[in-house]
Structure 1
Amino acid sequence: MNRLSLNQITTKNWTLPQAVQGCVNAGIPAIGLWRDKVAETGLAESARLVRDAGLTVSSLCRGGFLTTPGPEGHRTALAENLRALEEAAELGTDTLVMVVGGLPDGSRDLTAARTRVADLLAELAPHAQDFGVRLAIEPLHPMFCADRAVVSTLAQALDLAEQFPTEQVGVVVDSYHTWWDPQLAQQIARAADRIAAYQVCDWTLPLPADALLGRGHVGDGHIDFRTLTHHLTTAGYTGWIEVEIFNEQIWNTPGEQTLRTMIERHHTHVVGSDR
């Protein structure tokens, strides 16, 4: 339990105060916050609630969406991500998860979109260090390339991250997005201390109409968590293990029940998986 974190989206229907209290009641020591939920409660109040509860903020979701073209798109993305860095620092987390953005409307130019990602990271990285927060690039499964992330593999994320000091830019290993990658073991070893976050949920079938919501509890699907966690442990990762699930049925389940399932699956499939 000492590494388990609730990513707030897993209990989407809970307010931030409810999620904080749920973690306290369940004995979960950390929480990954979402900016919209923080905004509902207020930044200062959110920081106070988490601090007073004795929880660690494992990450803030999310920054990114860096691919909008043109000077105005660039200025807007830069300003929004600077705000996200400031919020992360205020909340006491050292990790801002970056979903880099998909293709702009009407575009088929992946090269240009990826160039804009690199350019904005170069502007943001020094500010991240000033705030004491690391930009954590999250590669998303290729089916989300068009609308959410033109970075699809851990190798691509590392190619970007390695242009900057480790304390400025790292990567996220999310089981849902990376489990299929035939180079995953080698890329996790390459990532080493660049791994800023490890997020877990399972790949379940059939996929729903909205593929974003096709995630299940650890152990309900096709991912080999013992091997995946072993690779991360071997690479030296000792940080938080965030449970991040997008699933309508789970969202409609009482939050307390979801947390009980999280804990049970954590013990069954993750704890002691180094071998």
Structure 2
Amino acid sequence: MSAHSRLSLNQGTIKYASLAEALEVSQRQGLQSIGLWREPVAEVGLERAAQMLRDSGLRFSSHCRAGFLTEPGETARRQALEENRRAIEETRVLAEAGAPGSSATLVMVAGGIPEGGTIEDARARFEEGIATLAPEAEAAGVTLALEPLHPMYASDRAVLSTLGQALDIADRVGSPAVGAVVDAFHVWWDPDVAAQVERAGRDGRIASYQVCDWKTPLPADVLLSRHLPGDGVVDFAHLTALVNEAGYQGDVEVEVFNADLWAKSYDDAVAEMVTKFGASVGVHLAEFAIA
């Protein structure tokens, strides 16, 4: 299987597309894999979404997103766990509906710091939630893919900021159902990234490799500061070599939140994604067969 055939469109790259539109543009552009978001799936219902995915013939690379386990209080904790359990079931069903080689990977974003709280307490609650959910995910055949986000998001979105922190949680929880996302946008800056990618590969914990680029100046809404590979400063040759050497053989998702890209037609956006992925990432990607 070629490196290009490992390219997966993360649905967030064409944010306003319905599930049907995302599947159709992926097919038209010759892709073989897609990562879905929970909201478009919910719009049509899980059973219908699974059938649409099955009919598309596409692999399923990940489900975005769950987590957000940092709020204090028993009621908030119970509600968050229930929502995550629904996400685990969605992931199981969609992975079964996808083409051979689909991955039952559920992306887990930690959540921010509750008002009046501390980052240490928030991280502890996230880890407690992962420990509670891990046996259920394992029974469902789903991997909880902990995604560290760049530290600029630590206060409001993700108290998990480095790959090392994600792997530390995975080690303490001790479940094979807990892995990590290597997202170029979030980890490229980390001076310890090489050692941590090697560690993740050695321990079999790389659940997903996501690629998008970092470019300054950042927009006022920093959530929309991602760019297509090759448009910024990330060294994809180096990072992709690390992931290759760590033994990751799954799909590689392009996940870009960018207002200018979202304003384009879905075909134009995906065609540009395919071209830039090939030049910046695909050329460095090992030609593994999808596991």
Answer yes or no: same fold by TM over 0.5. Answer: yes
Q: Hey, what does 1:270 align to over in structure 2?
A: 281
Query: Which stretches in structure 2 are left out of the alignment for 5+ residues?
Result: 96-102, 287-291
- 1:194 is aligned, of 205, 210, 219, to 205
TM-score by length of 2: 0.92
Read off the aligned partner of 1:13 and give its amino acid letter.
Answer: Y
- 2:7 is aligned, of 1, 4, 7, to 4
Give the secondary structure class of the aligned counterpart of 1:272: helix
Is the counterpart of residue 70 in structure 1 residue 73 in structure 2?
Answer: yes
Do the aligned partners of 2:178 and 2:205 also contact (CA within 8 Å) in 1? yes
Q: Hey, what does 1:224 align to over in structure 2?
A: 235
Q: Hey, what does 1:32 align to over in structure 2?
A: 35
Q: Hey, what does 1:212 align to over in structure 2?
A: 223
Is the counterpart of residue 98 in structure 1 residue 101 in structure 2?
Answer: no
Do the aligned partners of 1:226 and 1:270 also contact (CA within 8 Å) in 2? yes
Q: Hey, what does 2:269 align to over in structure 1?
A: 258
Do the aligned partners of 2:135 and 2:175 also contact (CA within 8 Å) in 1? no
Give the secondary structure class of the aligned counterpart of 1:163: helix
Do the aligned partners of 2:134 and 2:175 also contact (CA within 8 Å) in 1? no
Query: Which stretches in structure 1 are left out of the alignment for 5+ residues?
Result: none
Q: Hey, what does 1:128 align to over in structure 2?
A: 137
Q: Hey, what does 1:157 align to over in structure 2?
A: 166
Is the counterpart of residue 181 in structure 1 residue 190 in structure 2?
Answer: yes
Do the aligned partners of 1:13 and 1:251 also contact (CA within 8 Å) in 2? yes
Read off the aligned partner of 1:258 and give its amino acid letter.
Answer: A
Give the secondary structure class of the aligned counterpart of 1:51: helix
Give the CA deviation at 1:182: 0.3
Give the CA deviation at 1:166: 5.3
- CA-atom RMSD in angstroms: 1.2
Give the CA deviation at 1:253: 0.7
Q: How many residues align structurally?
A: 274
Q: 4+ runs of 1 displaced by more than 4 Å?
A: none
CA distance in 1: counterparts of 2:284 and 2:10, whole angstroms? 21
Do the aligned partners of 1:13 and 1:252 also contact (CA within 8 Å) in 2? no
Is the counterpart of residue 241 in structure 1 residue 252 in structure 2?
Answer: yes
CA distance in 2: counterparts of 1:167 and 1:202, whole angstroms? 30
Q: Hey, what does 1:55 align to over in structure 2?
A: 58
After superposition, the C-alpha distances for 1:142-168 in whole angstroms (9 at most, x for unaligned) are 010001111100000000011244531
TM-score by length of 1: 0.97
Do the aligned partners of 1:202 and 1:217 also contact (CA within 8 Å) in 2? yes
CA distance in 1: counterparts of 2:53 and 2:175, whole angstroms? 27
Q: Hey, what does 2:156 align to over in structure 1?
A: 147
After superposition, the C-alpha distances for 1:108-150 in whole angstroms (9 at most, x for unaligned) are x111111111111111000001111000000000010001111
Is the counterpart of residue 45 in structure 1 residue 48 in structure 2?
Answer: yes
Read off the aligned partner of 1:242 and give its amino acid letter.
Answer: E
